[in-house]
Amino acid sequence: MAGTTNTLVEIARLLLQRKPQEAATIIENLYEKYQTELQLLFPREGSRRIAQAAVECSFALMREMCERENFSLFEEKRILAQGELMSTAMMLRHLQDMGKKAVIIPALDFMKTDKNAEPDLPYITSHLRPLVQTAPGDTEIYITEGYICLNAYNRVDNLRRGGSDYTASLAGVAIGAEEIQIWTDIDGLHNNDPRFVDKTAPVRRLHFDEASELAYFGAKILHPTCIQPAREHNIPVRLLDTLNPSLPGTFISLDTEKDVIKAVSAKDGIIAIKVKSNHKLVSWHFLRRVFEVFERYAVVVDMVTTSEVGISLTIDNDEKLPEIQRELEELGSISVERGLTIICVVGDMKSDNIGFEARIVEAIRTFPVRMISYGGSDYNMTVLIRESDKREVLVALSEHLFSTTKSS
């Protein structure tokens, strides 16, 4: 059912723009897609009728939304939830047709966020465990929706895009799982981006922090927030390939391979901001005031480098950039550069490993570099480059760092 969430996002966008007829057309197109899949998945009429009932319920809600005069962001979240609700209902019936003892545990019965939009783990734990324990004793498979939840005000909400991995990690922690598995369409996390570099290789073992850095800086296979709950409770995470389930994938834990550079990832859409002090503030006040600006607007800073007279940093969200610029101009002169990419190189970067940073710099010696950040973590080094150089930089790093990788 790939593409469903994107379609639901488009339907909600049109309804927010007060274009119900256009939204209704897309709804009917999506409905026809589901009818086709229902016919293929359920040759038996009885099973198809049961699954069809769940699908009809979701589409009835979407059609009803088109009749509303006041469509808000709250209704948008309800529409975005429908893809997960339909897919789990269809999967349950399909598994039961295969003879599996499967049950649904609705995510909206246990998955909840607090007033800061962060997962409420005590609530999740106290509500999920009884649901698992009261399921029939012969249950083999428990199904739940990823991504959707209730918020602190008991309204349907979500964990943002990619949040199904997050759901899996939170559920694994809540029930005290031995291992959390994320199944995708590739054999684990690779040592470079296969969209840009030929013949990448899977990384078999990663430390939690290494995986977190790669996910945050662009590795699409894993949601950045997925690792945090598992790490805090020391539950290993395994990334596996649905198309080749016998392959070992990537195993993520507190243990890792020492003295090795593991992988490279890239994060696009980066904005660099350089602030040169006007000397009206002493240096320690200057740095504090700069970071207070970003705190006020809840904008995350990815990279930071400093000098005696200024600071350079990067962000990946320009929504509040005009307001940030105005406040920073009170502290000094500023410059803003767009169209940049952060390259993240991950591995055992402890300070006693001599030469790793030199190998990285040597690999990109022919490319202009805007910033380098090293030493803030024992597991990564980040480099800021032009987005137009990304492909060539990724290839150069593979050729220089991974001797068995042949790149185009």
Structural domain for 195, as ranges = 164-255
pTM: 0.85
Binding-site residue ranges: 184-185, 195
Helix (H, G, I), strand (E, B) or coil at 332: strand
C-alpha to C-alpha distance for 91 and 83, rounded to whole angstroms: 12
In this structure, the answer to whether residues 170 and 226 fall within a common structural domain is: yes
Residue 378: Cβ within 10 Å count: 14
Flag whether 25 is in a domain: yes
- The pLDDT value recorded for residue 378 is 86
- The pLDDT value recorded for residue 255 is 87
pLDDT above 90 as % of the chain: 76
Q: How many domains does the chain divide into?
A: 3
pLDDT above 70 as % of the chain: 97
In this structure, the answer to whether residues 245 and 318 fall within a common structural domain is: no
Instruction: Determine phi and psi for 345, rounding to 5 degrees.
Output: -110, 125
Higher pLDDT, 262 or 226: 262
Helix (H, G, I), strand (E, B) or coil at 73: helix
Write the pLDDT tens digit of every residue in 361-371. Answer: 999 999 999 99
Q: Model confidence at 161, in pLDDT bands (50, 70, 90)?
A: low
Query: Is pLDDT above 50 for 252?
Result: yes
Query: Is pLDDT above 80 for 281?
Result: no
What CATH number does the domain containing 179 carry? Answer: 3.40.1160.10
Higher pLDDT, 213 or 258: 213
C-alpha to C-alpha distance for 71 and 126, rounded to whole angstroms: 34
In this structure, the answer to whether residues 315 and 239 fall within a common structural domain is: no
Flag whether 148 is in a domain: no
Query: Is pLDDT above 60 for 406?
Result: no
Burial class (CB in 10 A: 0-12, 13-18, 19+), 338: exposed
Among 55, 74, 104, the domain boundary falls at 104
Flag whether 117 is in a domain: no
Write the pLDDT tens digit of every residue in 311-329. Answer: 999 999 999 999 999 999 9
Average pLDDT across the chain, whole number: 92
What CATH number does the domain containing 285 carry? Answer: 3.30.2130.10
- The pLDDT value recorded for residue 356 is 84
Averaged pLDDT for residues 286-304:
92
Averaged pLDDT for residues 229-247:
94
- The pLDDT value recorded for residue 201 is 93
- Cα–Cα nearest to 264, from 397, 403, 81, 77: 397
In this structure, the answer to whether residues 100 and 14 fall within a common structural domain is: yes
- The pLDDT value recorded for residue 405 is 41
Among 69, 84, 104, the domain boundary falls at 104
Among 9-13, 350-354, 360-364, 384-388, the least confident range: 350-354
C-alpha to C-alpha distance for 81 and 148, rounded to whole angstroms: 6
In this structure, the answer to whether residues 282 and 229 fall within a common structural domain is: no
Kindly report the length of the chain: 408
Q: Model confidence at 163, in pLDDT bands (50, 70, 90)?
A: confident
Among 55-69, 105-119, 155-169, the least confident range: 155-169
Query: Is pLDDT above 90 for 403?
Result: no
In this structure, the answer to whether residues 335 and 353 fall within a common structural domain is: yes
Flag whether 385 is in a domain: yes
- Within 8 A by CB and 6+ apart from 406, the residues are 198, 199
What CATH number does the domain containing 27 carry? Answer: 1.20.120
Flag whether 185 is in a domain: yes
- The pLDDT value recorded for residue 280 is 64
Q: What is the dihedral of CA 390, 392, 393, 396, to 10 degrees?
A: 160
Flag whether 113 is in a domain: no
How remote is the C-alpha of 303 from its chain's centroid? 19
Among 196, 224, 255, the domain boundary falls at 255
In this structure, the answer to whether residues 216 and 284 fall within a common structural domain is: no
In this structure, the answer to whether residues 368 and 332 fall within a common structural domain is: yes
Q: Model confidence at 186, in pLDDT bands (50, 70, 90)?
A: confident
Binding-site residue ranges for ATP: 184-185, 195
In this structure, the answer to whether residues 8 and 76 fall within a common structural domain is: yes
In this structure, the answer to whether residues 313 and 349 fall within a common structural domain is: yes
